[in-house]
Structure 1
Amino acid sequence: MRHSQLRAFDAVAREGSFAKGAHLLSLSPPAVTIQVKSLEESYGLTLFIRSGGKAILTSDGQGLYDRTRRFFIEEEDIQNYLSASSALEKGHLKIAADGPHAALNIIATFREKYPGIKLTVMLGNAETVRQDILGQRADVGITANCPESDRLVIDELSVQSMTALIHKDHPLAARKLLCLSDLMDEQLILRERGSNTRRVFEGAVKELSLSYENELELGSREAVREAVAVGLGIGFLFEHEILGDNRTVAVPLKELANSNRDMVICLKSQLKRRVVEAFVSLARTFAGSSGALR
């Protein structure tokens, strides 16, 4: 077993493909493939299932990946300790976010303060962000209403309320405040399952013993905005997600005031990394500053 083999395996596991793992290491895909294959043959194990350009971890592969992640985090910690004078002048940080509204100002400030750190930002919904952090595919996450976990550090950044996004010509657009019960007979435009918006909305509907039948499911907040703008129904967005569009009106929802909490999250085991600790510490300075997160 050689260090280069473990490094190649870890990169492929983290990126989910041989090509992306090779890019992360600045090597050619064949070189990385040879390293991983040699490791598998040395121990008689199958570490990945190769399928359609993806590299899916087997159970043996997952067990090794859990250990190589800890190993390389410790290795990085040793390197940082030995080169403290140049800490945060170089490095790479992978950020997962469930939307740009709470993330971009923090990222911009971090980049200005630490220009030598390469940043990769992945956007998804709240559940994919949480899974990316737990699966160590990202180093830090900016998401909303993350469930507690003994593996995670979770810090609240800001609180938002949910609004109903309505076409300007709809009769309900003139209202200053709406109840969820006012909307149950309307055509509703909902985010995909797994999104924080969908989870908060459905939780409130269930708690109030309400029901609805007419729904259109869309996979992004941008799609929801446009669908409402062309008159397909009523959508739901948190107040920081609203953009100026004269075709639509955002009306507060009584039951969903202060229903969203933006958070920065990371694995407790990752917080020892200087680059992660620096990002989390910076994000904490934005806590409670809702204007700064817009």
Structure 2
Amino acid sequence: MRHSQLRAFDAVAREGSFAKGAHLLNLSPPAVTIQVKSLEEAYRLTLFIRSGGKAILTSDGQALYDRTRRFFIEEEEIQNYLSASSALEKGHLKIAADGPHAALNIIAAFRERYPGIKLNVTLGNAETVRQDILAQRADVGITANCPESDRLVIDELSVQSMIALLPRAHHLSSRKELSLPELMSEPLILRERGSNTRRVFEGAVRDLSLSYENELELGSREAVREAVAVGLGLGFLFEHEVLGDDRTVAVPLKELVDSNRDMVICLKSQLKRRTVETFVSLARTFAGTKDTSREVFS
């Protein structure tokens, strides 16, 4: 059974004649006749009664036609879906992000341009995002300081610095700049292990051969901000994660200037998909905008 045989049979059945079926397919009547005859001979069935230029379905022919109509309607719907997907009129895209500051502007721009694409966004820490991409639980990721991998496409979007977040009444809150060594004896509020913030902070501590003991570990930047605001200690965030709050003061850290690089990542194999390629390309245009770190991601 060949697709061309079923197509020829279906066209003749729809039109009620071999000549009209051939015209529908833009083929010659003999070519269509050969296809239908080959199908009948292959399965030892009589599908049409030929009479006076008409093609009348037999009971076997009618049963087959009921199925070929469903088949070709479904095929047409598949073709329409693929065409719409190619034109980015329909489809799905799952995005993993390690925070909203670098992701939401790009997502908003993508959604405005391609409203037919259904977006699913999950938030986690940097390592969770990386693992979601590698395991294909997400199509594209927006994360920070992603390690190089032969499997990944990685594009830098913006660069930002880490700051110390202090209660406004803290004795160091009036400083223009702080250094990590002078903070190690303070009560520290840190993000969970696996987060990019914790990884960058601990890397700097190791490089300076520092140590700390008095720490409180929290699982989100929102929790860190609130813990600092109520006076539980000093927190560490990246500059775009700091919200206006009269209870806290953000002070730059000398050792952690430009320590964070926001990135868009995806599997190299997934870049062949139109939706993924378009999202990554759009993110690259954001990265190419003048003063991107201040205008796009603030």
TM over 0.5: yes
Supply the distance in 1 between the matched residues of 2:232 and 2:128 (Cα, whole angstroms). 27
The 8 Å contact of residues 156 and 263 in structure 2, kept in 1 or not, is answered as: yes
The 8 Å contact of residues 106 and 293 in structure 1, kept in 2 or not, is answered as: no
Residues 179-222 of structure 1, C-alpha deviation per residue, up to 9 Å, x if partnerless? 00010000000000000000000000000001111000000000
Match of 1:15 in 2: none
Supply the distance in 2 between the matched residues of 1:266 and 1:211 (Cα, whole angstroms). 36
Match of 2:56 in 1: none
Supply the distance in 1 between the matched residues of 2:297 and 2:232 (Cα, whole angstroms). 30
Q: How does 1:32-43 map to 2 (within 5 A)?
A: none
Identity value in percent: 85
2:151 aligned with 1:158, yes or no?
Answer: no
3-state SS in 2 of match to 1:173: coil
Match of 1:224 in 2: 224
Alpha-carbon offset, residue 264 of structure 1 = 0.1
Supply the distance in 2 between the matched residues of 1:169 and 1:286 (Cα, whole angstroms). 38
Supply the distance in 1 between the matched residues of 2:182 and 2:85 (Cα, whole angstroms). 61
Alpha-carbon offset, residue 84 of structure 1 = 6.5
Match of 2:47 in 1: none
Structure 1 residues 212 and 87, CA gap change in structure 2 (3 angstroms): same
3-state SS in 2 of match to 1:181: helix
2:196 aligned with 1:196, yes or no?
Answer: yes
Alpha-carbon offset, residue 86 of structure 1 = 5.6
The 8 Å contact of residues 164 and 235 in structure 2, kept in 1 or not, is answered as: yes
The 8 Å contact of residues 105 and 292 in structure 1, kept in 2 or not, is answered as: yes
Residues 156-181 of structure 1, C-alpha deviation per residue, up to 9 Å, x if partnerless? 00000000000000001010000000
Match of 2:245 in 1: 245
Supply the distance in 1 between the matched residues of 2:85 and 2:180 (Cα, whole angstroms). 56
Give the letter for the 2:229 counterpart. Answer: A
Match of 2:67 in 1: none
Give the letter for the 2:139 counterpart. Answer: D
Supply the distance in 1 between the matched residues of 2:85 and 2:171 (Cα, whole angstroms). 63
Alpha-carbon offset, residue 263 of structure 1 = 0.1
Alpha-carbon offset, residue 87 of structure 1 = 1.7
3-state SS in 1 of match to 2:96: strand
Supply the distance in 2 between the matched residues of 1:114 and 1:142 (Cα, whole angstroms). 19
Match of 2:55 in 1: none
In structure 2, the gaps of 5 or more residues are 1-77
In structure 1, the gaps of 5 or more residues are 1-77
Structure 1 residues 175 and 81, CA gap change in structure 2 (3 angstroms): same
TM-score normalised per structure 2: 0.71
Residues 135-175 of structure 1, C-alpha deviation per residue, up to 9 Å, x if partnerless? 10000000000000000000000000000000000001010
Give the letter for the 1:216 counterpart. Answer: L
Match of 2:101 in 1: 101
The 8 Å contact of residues 187 and 215 in structure 1, kept in 2 or not, is answered as: yes
Match of 1:185 in 2: 185
Supply the distance in 2 between the matched residues of 1:161 and 1:279 (Cα, whole angstroms). 26
Supply the distance in 1 between the matched residues of 2:205 and 2:81 (Cα, whole angstroms). 51
**Count of aligned pairs:** 217
Supply the distance in 2 between the matched residues of 1:87 and 1:79 (Cα, whole angstroms). 12
